[in-house]
Amino acid sequence: MSLSVQESKHITKKIGRDLSITERQIIAAEWSEHCSYKSSKKHLKILPTTGRNVINEKGYDSGVLDVGDGYVVTVHIESHNHPSAVEPYGGAATGVGGVIRDILSTGTRPIAIFDGLRFGDIENDTHARWLFKNAVSGIADYGNCLGIPTIGGEVEFDECYKNYALVDVAAIGFGKKDKLIKNHANVGDLVVLIGGPTGRDGIGGSQFASDSLESEDRSAIQIPDPFIEKLIIETILEARNEKCINAMKDLGGGGLSCAVSETADSLGIGIELDVDNIHTREAGLSPDEIMISESQERMLIITEKKKLPKLNEICNKFRVSCSLIGYVKNDKMMHVRKGENTFALLPADFVAHAPLLDRKKTIPKYLRHLKKENKNKKLLDYSKTILKLLSSPNIASKHWVFHQYDHEVGIRTVVKPGFDASVLRLDNGKFLSAKIDGNPKHCYLNPRQGAIGCFEEACRNIVCTGANPIGMVDHLQFGNPEDPEIFWTFMEALEGLSDFAKFLRVPCVGGKVSFYNETPSGPIKPTPLIGVLGIIDKPPLVPVPPSNGDYLLIVGKTKDELGGSEYFEYVHKFIGGNCPTVDFKTSKLNMITVLSLIKNNLIKCVHDCSKGGFVIALSELSINGNIGCSIDIEKIPSTKNLSHEKILFSESHSRYLLVVDGKNITRVKQHLSKQKILFGVLGKFSGDQISITHKSNNLVKSNVDVMRKRYFNGLEDLLKHG
Amino acid sequence: MKVGIVVFPGSNCDRDIFHVLTDVFDLEAEYFWHEKHLPSKIDAVILPGGFSYGDRLRAGVIAAHSPIISDVKSMAKKGVPVLGICNGFQILVESGLLPGVLLKNTTMNFMCKWINLIVQNNNTPFTNKLKLGQKISIPIANGEGRYFADNKTLKELQEKNQIVFTYEESLNGSSLNIAGVCNESGNVVGMMPHPERAVESEINPTDNKPSSLIFESLLKTAGIEK
C-alpha cells in the first residue's frame, strides 16, 4: 500500500479513528499519484481551460467542444505505460478501452482513436521489438473489434525507453449537444454497475502505476475484452436515448474506490453500496479486493428508480451484466457494506481529495553537461545520409502499423493515416482535423521549448489540412516527481505549454499527468504528448501529390537548431546542441498565412517540416508523387552563414513546404510577400531525382525510386524478419 | 424497396451500410436484431461487417447459429437477394449458405488497405451493372479474410460461375485470389471488401463509381433504375 507516513497521520487526525483495512485500501488507491494528481494538481491550474467552444460539466472525464449546429466533439488522452511494459498486448488494449469509456461517459459515441507509441531501440533490442509488436496487436485487436477507427498517431524509438513502453491513447467522440449526460443525482436514485465481472485482475493498478517499474506485478495488469466493451457502448447509448442515465462514470484507475468517491464528491451526494451485489468473476473476493480491482469494461451509472426496469431491459438485450449495488443518500458519505457489516464509512470529499504536495524543483545537472557541437565531426555524403534517415525506424513509413488498424470503419475518414493530420467528416457538414505529437529528444535538451515545439508541430499538422486549432489535450509523462530535477522538467514543460496555449488562445480541454515512468536503469526523457483538434467548415485540403512542373516553396526560417534532431541522434549518435525554439508571433503568422492560402484554393498540398528536417520533408513529398525535384539550397531562407548540413537537417519549427501549380504561383508569391512572410521559391518538381545544388556543385543527387524503397521497407523489414 | 440490415452483438458496420442505403441511394432500410424475425416484406437482406461475438471460436461461427439465420436461409431459398460483407460473408459461409471457409490471412495480421477487385460474375443481384473484368478500387479490413476451399469445391465454383470477385494481386493467401462468391442460384453473395466504404467520393481517394455500381445493381434488380 502506498500511503506515506504523513498521509496516514493526516487520515487519523481527520477521521479521528483507526481505519479498517478496506478503508485504507480505498484511500491508498484514490490517493495514489495516478488518481489524485497530488504532485501536479496545484500547477495544472495555469493551463487555460475555457474558451468560446468549451463546454464544462460536473464530473466529465473528457473535454467537450461545441462544433456548432447542435453537435459536440469530445476528446480525451491517457496512457497505459506500466502495464504495457510488462504485458504489452493487454496493457495497450486496455489503454484503448479506458479512454473509450471516458468518451462514452459524456454520452457521446467514440468515433476515432489515436495512439502514440514509444519503445527502446528496436533495431538492436529484441525485447523492445517484442513489446512494440504486441502493443500494436493489442491496439489493433481492441479498436478493430469495437468498430472505432484508429486514424492516427505516432511511433518513436529511443534508448531511454529500454525495458519500458509508453502507450498513449487519445480518443474522440461525437454527439448531439442535447444528449450529453448532465451528471446529477437525487436522494433515492439507484447506483448500478454494468459491464464485465469484477475479478482479481488489476488489483492496485493505480498504485502500481505510481511507482517506478521495478517488479513485474502481473496481478496489477488488467485483462482486455473488447467484445464486452462494444456491447457496453451500444447499451449505454441506447440507455442514454431512453433517458435512463442521471450520472455516469467509467471505472478506470482505482476501480470502484475512485468511481464512487469521485462521483459522490462531484455531485455532493452520499453513496451506500453492498459489495455482495456486485457480479464477480470468482467467488471469495474480499471487500477491499472488490473496491480496488481494476477489472475492465465496467461503468457506474446512477439511475432513477422508475428507470431501472428499462435499463435492465436494455442490458438484457445486449447480454450485459447489470448489478444494482447501492443507492444515493444525502450524507455525502461513501459507505461500503457487505451484507449487514460495514467495511468502510468515509466522507466522499475526504477520499476524493488527497492532500496536495509541494514538490521541490531544481535545474537538472545533466543539462550543464550536455555536449557542445563538435565542429570537426566527419562530413558525410548527404545522399547516403538521406537514405539512411529515410529507412530509420523513426522516419520510415509506419504503414506496417496503421494497416493493422481499421482506419475506415465509421465511414468518416477523409484524410487517412500516413499524412500530416487525419481528417474526419462530421454530421453537420464540417470536418474535424486531429493530430498528436511528441518529441522526447527535443524535450530532453530543453523541456520548455521541446514541449512548445510538440504543441506547435501538432498545430502545424492540422493547419496542413486547412483546419484552425480549437482545442488541445496534453499528456505529460515524466519520471519520479519526488526528484527535484525531474520535477523541474515537468514545470518547464507545463509552463511552456501554458504560455503558448494562452498566446494562441487554444484552450486545454483535457489531459493527464503520468509520473514514475522509470525503470532501474533510469527515468525516461521528458515526454509530453500534445493532441490538437481543429475544425474546417468546407472540405479539407486532401493532399494531392506533386506532379511535373509544380513549384516547391518553403515558408519559415531554417535556423541553427540541429539539437535533438534525427540527424544528430541517429546518424551521429550525438545528444546535445541547440534545441529548436518557437517564435510565437512567427508561428501564428505562418499558420494564418498558410490557412488563408488553403482557403483560397491556391495550393495543392502542404507538408510540415519536422523530423529529419527540410530534406526529409521534401523526400516524403517526392516519394508520394513519385517525382523528382531540383532546388538551389541558397533559396532556403535561413540564419546567416548556416552550414549546408544544418539547412538540410535542422528541425526548426514553423516551417511548411507548399506544392503550387504553375498557374497559381504569382498569386501565392504576392500573398506571401504581402503578409511579410519569410519564404523561398525553391524549384520545380520534375524527373526522377531529387537534386540539391549549391552554386554549380551537387550536394544531393538521389533517385526517388530508391528513396521510396528505403522509406517503405525500413520499418517493415525490421518487423517481418524478427 | 426495403432492405433489412441484420445486427448481431458486435456488428459494427451496420450504421455505415444504413447510411449508404438511405442517404446515398435513397432506399428504405431497417435494422433487425439477431433475435428477431425478418418480416416477409423485406426485399433484400444485408449482413454487415464487424466482429459478431468478438470473433470468438472463429469469425462468424457463433452468429451463424443466431435465431434470425433461419429466416435468412428461407429468404435465400426464395431467391431474395442476400449480401454478406466481411463478417457478414464469414457468417454466410459458417451458416452453410455459401461454400468454403475464411481463414486467417497468411500475413498473420489484420489488413486494412485499399486494393483492386476484378469482377468475375456480373450476373448476380449485386453485380449486374458491372462489366466482366471491371476493376474496383475498394478497402478491405479483416484478419480472417483468406478464402479457402478444397480443389473439388473450387472446380465446382468455377464451373458454376460462383466466383464473383477476385483480388487483382495475391494479397492474403486466398484460393484463386477469391474475394467474393455466390451460391448456385446467384442471389446470395458474400464479399470480404467493404463497398459501403467506397461509394462516396468524399472518403474514397480513388474512383467511387465502380463501387457504387454494386448498390445500383441492387436497385436495378428491384426495378429501380437510377
The answer to whether residues A411 and A494 belong to one domain is yes
pLDDT value, residue B207: 93
CA-CA distance, A475 to A451, in Å (whole number)? 11
The answer to whether residues A319 and A412 belong to one domain is no
Contact criterion met (CB below 8 Å) for B151 and B198: no
The answer to whether position A682 is within a domain reads yes
The reply to whether A407 touches chain B by the CB within 8 Å rule is yes
CA-CA distance, A104 to A113, in Å (whole number)? 13
CA-CA distance, A244 to B92, in Å (whole number)? 36
A218 Cβ contact list (under 8 Å, min separation 6): A86, A87
Q: How many residues does chain B have?
A: 226
The answer to whether position A11 is within a domain reads no
CA-CA distance, A226 to A199, in Å (whole number)? 16
For residue A165, give its domain range.
Answer: 40-177+406-540
Interface test with A, best of B142, B203, B204 (most A CBs within 10 A): B203
Q: Look at the pTM and tell me if it is higher than 0.90.
A: yes
Domain end residue (candidates: A540, A567, A587): A540
- List A195's β-bridge partners, or say none: A298
Element containing residue A298 per DSSP (H, E)? strand A298-303
pLDDT value, residue A558: 98
Listing DSSP states for B97-140 in one string gives SSSSEEE--TT-S-EEEEEEEEE----STTTTTSPTT-EEEEEE
The answer to whether residues A450 and A410 belong to one domain is yes
Q: What integer is the mean pLDDT of A576-602? A: 97
The answer to whether position A588 is within a domain reads yes
How far away is chain B from the Cα of A66, in angstroms, using its nearest Cα?
24
B138, closest residue in chain A (CA to CA)? A408
The answer to whether residues A573 and A705 belong to one domain is yes
How far away is chain B from the Cα of A127, in angstroms, using its nearest Cα?
20
Q: Is the pLDDT of residue A419 over 90?
A: no
The answer to whether residues A567 and A616 belong to one domain is yes
Domain end residue (candidates: A480, A510, A540): A540
Interface test with B, best of A142, A241, A408, A465 (most B CBs within 10 A): A408
Size of interface A-B (CB pairs under 8 A): 81
Instruction: Return left, alpha or beta for B164; rule: phi > 0 is left, psi -120 to 50 is alpha, else beta.
Output: alpha
Q: pLDDT tens digit string along A124-164? A: 999 999 999 999 999 999 999 999 999 999 999 999 999 99
The answer to whether residues A650 and A592 belong to one domain is yes
Bridge pairing between strands A551-555 and A605-608: unpaired
| Per-residue pLDDT band at A61 (split at 50, 70, 90) | confident
Mean pLDDT of chain A: 94
Neighbours of B30 (CB within 10 A): 15
The answer to whether residues A597 and A689 belong to one domain is yes
| Per-residue pLDDT band at A217 (split at 50, 70, 90) | low
The answer to whether residues A654 and A611 belong to one domain is yes
A429, closest residue in chain B (CA to CA)? B202
The answer to whether residues A521 and A582 belong to one domain is no
| Helix A704-720 / helix A614-625 crossing angle, nearest 10 deg | 100
The answer to whether residues A152 and A198 belong to one domain is no
CA-based Rg of chain B, rounded to a whole angstrom? 16
The answer to whether position A361 is within a domain reads no
The answer to whether position A309 is within a domain reads yes
The answer to whether residues A551 and A574 belong to one domain is yes
Q: Phi then psi for A247, rounded to 5 degrees?
A: -150, 155
The answer to whether position A263 is within a domain reads yes
| Per-residue pLDDT band at A202 (split at 50, 70, 90) | confident
Question: Measured between CB atoms, which of A140, A147, A413 is closest to B203?
Answer: A413
ipTM given for this complex: 0.96
The answer to whether residues A512 and A578 belong to one domain is no
Contact criterion met (CB below 8 Å) for A26 and A288: yes
CA-CA distance, B183 to A531, in Å (whole number)? 49
The residues in A 117-146 lying below 8 A from B, measured between CB atoms, are: 140-141, 144-146
Q: What integer is the mean pLDDT of B204-213? A: 94
Taking contacts as CB-CB distances below 8 angstroms, the residues of chain A near B15 are: 410
One of A10, A43, A76, A80 is an active-site residue; which one? A80
Q: pLDDT tens digit string along B46-101? A: 999 999 999 999 999 999 999 999 999 999 999 999 999 999 999 999 999 999 99
The set of catalytic residues of B is 86, 194, 196
Domain count for chain A, please give it: 3
Contact B194 A408 (CB under 8 A): yes
Instruction: Enumerate the H helices of chain B as residue ranges.
Output: 14-19, 68-78, 87-94, 151-159, 209-221
| CATH number of residue A621's parent domain | 3.90.650.10
| CATH number of residue A55's parent domain | 3.30.1330.10
The answer to whether position A17 is within a domain reads no
The answer to whether position A20 is within a domain reads no
Contact criterion met (CB below 8 Å) for A113 and A202: no
Domain end residue (candidates: A522, A540, A558): A540
Contact B113 A413 (CB under 8 A): no
Taking contacts as CB-CB distances below 8 angstroms, the residues of chain B near A414 are: 202-203
